[in-house]
Amino acid sequence: MNAAIRAVVRTAHFHGVRTSGIMGGYDGLINGHFRELGPRDVSNIIQRGGTMLRSARSEEFRTPEGRAKAADRLQQAGIDAIVAIGGDGTFTGALKMSEEHGTKVIGLPGTIDNDLAGTDLTIGFDTATNTAVEAIDKIRDTASSHDRLFFIEVMGRDTGFIALRCALAAGAEYVLIPEKLQAIEELSTALYEGSRSKSSSIVIVAEGDEEGGAYTIARKVKERFDHYDTRVTVLGHLQRGGSPSVTDRVLASRMGVAAVEQLIAGVHGVMVGIVNDEVTTTPFHQAIGKRKQINEDLLRVLAILAV
């Protein structure tokens, strides 16, 4: 996120446009928590996890009254346009501001879940998967005992992008993702087969999986096939932090530059994305509405490599 903020502020400065940071998301917008930002204010932040502009969910912004207040604040502060970084919720709010008050908003895809149509990668996805896989590597170091079975739950809301990528990169045996209904029966059979040749196995579980979280699934498997010493880990919030990866920093920088240049060119109501290494824009309603598809070939690769 910080890389995107840095890029927006500096690109605006480069083109002679002033910028303010809105502190604390839409709540900050409603309450007028603005802070003018110059190019030096965003020095030395590109390597930092989190965001220098604190974020928060805003209940009030979901009401027409909240958004009206926000529109007033913008006018009072002389702010002409907003760069909003986030996912579904952020863009839904942006769309409403635009419809109700004509506010010019351009969006950057900032979510670790990588579930937005209109961009190959969302800002945060590469860092989150690297962080998760580093943790899984450490867990596997401990798998030196025989017959260990690890269930590791990663984030992803109701999509399996993080889980599938982590499973491939961590050399996991199986992955459970919402896009693919796998019967517990089938997983248990696979684990049973694998138990004859392998000393330990790792199953990655997407948090939104139909079968329940990692604890539930581990219990269900154990009921069917009680061979392994089973351990469950829920990686949780540590996936959201950490110094961003090179891919994320470059992605966020390019998108931040593009966002400002699009606004200057008169474009708004869209999310900036990068598809096949080219900057693109996608109208908010499409970015939100269309679901990105899991690459089926990656599931096939995982299955082959789990032998």
The CB-of-68 to a second copy minimum distance in angstroms stands at 23
User: 220: exposed, middle or buried (C-beta count within 10 Å: 0-12, 13-18, 19+)?
Assistant: middle
Q: Considering only residues 131, 159, 262, 282, which one is a binding residue for a second copy as defined by CB under 8 A?
A: 131
Strand bridging mode 174-176 / 200-206 = parallel
Q: Which is nearer to a second copy, 139 or 267 (CB)?
A: 139
C-alpha span between 293 and 142 (Å, rounded): 34
133 touches a second copy (CB under 8 A)? yes
Q: Which among 173, 149, 153 is positioned nearest to 225, based on CA atoms? A: 149
Interface positions, 272-301, toward a second copy (CB under 8 A) = 276-277, 295, 297-298, 301
E strand residue ranges, 125-199: 148-154, 174-176
245 touches a second copy (CB under 8 A)? yes
138 touches a second copy (CB under 8 A)? yes
Between 167 and 206, how does the x/- string for binding to a second copy read (CB under 8 A)? -xxxx-------------------------xxx-------
Stretch of 82-90, 182-190, 249-257, 280-288 lying at the interface with a second copy (CB under 8 A): 249-257
C-alpha span between 8 and 37 (Å, rounded): 10
State phi, psi for 284 to the nearest 5 degrees: -50, -45
The CB-of-305 to a second copy minimum distance in angstroms stands at 5
Q: Which among 91, 95, 93, 96 is positioned nearest to 108, based on CA atoms? A: 91
Torsion from C-alpha of 259, 264, 269, 272, nearest 10 degrees: -20
The CB-of-103 to a second copy minimum distance in angstroms stands at 24
* Tokens linked to 121: 């990668």
The CB-of-47 to a second copy minimum distance in angstroms stands at 5
Interface positions, 36-75, toward a second copy (CB under 8 A) = 39-40, 43-44, 46-51, 54-57
Strand partners, 90: none
Q: What is the C-alpha R_g of the chain?
A: 22
* Tokens linked to 192: 């049973």
Please work out the total of residues on this chain that contact a second copy, with binding judged by CB under 8 A. 78
Asked if 27 is an active-site residue, the reply is no
The CB-of-70 to a second copy minimum distance in angstroms stands at 18
User: Is the distance from CB of 109 to CB of 91 less than 8 angstroms?
Assistant: no
259 touches a second copy (CB under 8 A)? no
Stretch of 70-78, 84-92, 205-213, 228-236 lying at the interface with a second copy (CB under 8 A): 228-236
Q: Which is nearer to a second copy, 37 or 95 (CB)?
A: 37
Give me the catalytic one of 113, 126, 209, 248: 113
DSSP character at residue 197 = T
Q: Which is nearer to a second copy, 102 or 197 (CB)?
A: 197
The CB-of-45 to a second copy minimum distance in angstroms stands at 8
33 touches a second copy (CB under 8 A)? no
E strand residue ranges, 53-102: 81-86
Catalytic residues, by residue number, are 113
